[in-house]
């Protein structure tokens, strides 16, 4: 079966958020994504949406059309490895930020896979391994605000909708202050609600270890995500792992399997949260997942439930799929038209071929960023 690529289409989407969301060293005013369509000569159209690029969104769209589209048009989408290797050569330009090229590749790679799944009439989670058809879902929250009680309110909401746990933002304050914030959140959660913390590379190893010591009697952390500052994070995360005994998750800031290999070889992580939408698409993510199995490392994923659910459900060492509060991510809650309702905290995968998602056309027209 051949599936020749005729054209690439994109629709950038940008939705303004209701307030400023602050993490340890970053802030968000918009929720963004790029819808990519791979049009084939058979009439099958692969469609996916990827990433959360905001100011860099036009750059990524330009790379897709000016650099990658001429490479993949005329190629067989079924030969996904050939397509990926052909696209990879645009990353060899050392004079620009390679992250943009890898995100552009991820957009096309994801849409190619959707076309492949549709052509074979099989959902991608099953095509990639079919280990399970549902995953536990956690929320991402704990952002810094000036509103008293916002952490407690968010936890109550995540409890109410049935999520199994919450990834709580830390690192924007001292270990003592963040320990107190987490304590207030834990107090309003149900007994079986799991907590994860995410410092987004904010602390030194000593600060991360201090924080764990302050919360050890409060909560049993499922993992500590990106605890340490980037210049020396591999060594520092290894120290945090062995000093605290809390599993460490990292990898979302990396954009290649080689970088993930180094995290594993250096004993820096227990969980890889490599992001397919930032790091070259499902093709590269699956390579990382196979490598992780050899190192006894579990797989997570940075956000992106529409892609990550298929990837994580396909393998035995997948963990949790993630979402935000509706005010933080209107794209997941409003654009994903056939978003599944949670069943006992489980996110159930679609049975339709490819990614199997239906996107809300009215939402897209309202928030498209190219008009």
Domain that holds residue 227: 126-348
pLDDT at 371 over 80: no
> What pLDDT digit, counting tens, does each position of 287-312 carry?
999 999 999 999 999 999 999 999 99
Evaluate whether residue 70 is within a structural domain.
yes
Cβ proximity of 186 and 195 under 8 Å: yes
How far out from the chain centre does Cα 336 lie?
Answer: 16
Q: Which residues contact 157 (CB under 8 A, 6 or more apart)?
A: 139, 325
Total structural domains within the chain: 2
Quick one: DSSP state of residue 121? T
> What pLDDT digit, counting tens, does each position of 108-133 carry?
999 999 999 999 999 999 999 999 99
Cα(first)–Cα(last) distance of the chain, in Å? 37
pTM of the model: 0.97
Question: pLDDT tier at 315 (50, 70, 90 boundaries)?
Answer: very high
**CB neighbour burial string for 21-53, b if at least 16 within 10 angstroms, e if fewer:** bebbeeebeebbbbbbbbbbeeebbbbbbbbbb
Q: Are residues 216 and 327 in the same domain?
A: yes
CA distance 221 to 203: 17
Q: Are residues 184 and 84 in the same domain?
A: no
CATH of the domain at 333: 3.20.20.120
Q: Are residues 285 and 150 in the same domain?
A: yes
Question: pLDDT tier at 150 (50, 70, 90 boundaries)?
Answer: confident
Residue whose token pair is 């997942």: 289
């Amino acid at each position: 079966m051949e599936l020749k690529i005729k054209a690439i289409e994109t629709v950038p989407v940008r939705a303004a958020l209701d307030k400023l969301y602050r993490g340890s060293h970053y802030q968000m005013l918009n929720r963004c994504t790029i819808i990519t369509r791979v049009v084939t000569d058979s009439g099958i159209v692969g469609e996916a949406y990827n990433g959360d690029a905001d100011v860099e969104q036009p750059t990524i769209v330009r790379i897709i059309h000016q650099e990658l589209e001429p490479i993949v048009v005329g190629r067989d989408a079924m030969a996904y490895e050939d397509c990926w290797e052909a696209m990879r050569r645009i990353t060899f330009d050392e004079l620009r930020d390679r992250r943009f090229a890898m995100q552009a590749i991820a957009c096309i790679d994801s849409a190619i896979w959707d076309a492949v799944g549709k052509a074979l009439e099989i959902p991608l989670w099953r095509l990639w391994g079919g280990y399970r058809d549902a995953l536990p879902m956690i929320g991402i929250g704990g952002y810094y605000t000036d509103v008293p009680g916002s952490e407690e309110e968010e936890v109550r909401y995540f409890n109410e909708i049935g999520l199994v746990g919450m990834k709580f933002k830390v690192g924007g304050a001292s270990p003592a202050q963040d320990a107190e914030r987490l304590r207030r959140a834990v107090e309003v959660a149900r007994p079986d609600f799991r907590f994860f913390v995410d410092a987004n590379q904010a602390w030194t190893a000593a600060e991360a270890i201090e924080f764990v010591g302050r919360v050890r009697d409060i909560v049993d952390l499922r993992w500590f995500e990106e605890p340490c500052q980037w210049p020396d994070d591999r060594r520092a995360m290894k120290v945090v792992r062995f000093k605290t005994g809390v599993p460490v998750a990292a990898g979302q800031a990396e954009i290649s399997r080689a970088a993930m290999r180094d995290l594993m070889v250096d004993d820096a992580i227990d969980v890889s949260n490599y992001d397919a939408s930032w790091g070259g698409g499902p093709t590269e993510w699956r390579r990382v997942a196979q490598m992780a199995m050899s190192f006894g490392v579990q797989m997570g994923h940075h956000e992106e439930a529409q892609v990550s659910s298929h990837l994580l459900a396909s393998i035995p060492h997948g963990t949790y799929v993630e979402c935000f509060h509706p005010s933080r991510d209107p794209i997941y809650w409003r654009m994903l038209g056939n978003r599944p309702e949670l069943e006992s905290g489980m996110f159930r995968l679609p049975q339709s071929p490819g990614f199997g998602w239906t996107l809300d056309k009215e939402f897209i027209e309202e928030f498209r960023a190219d008009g």
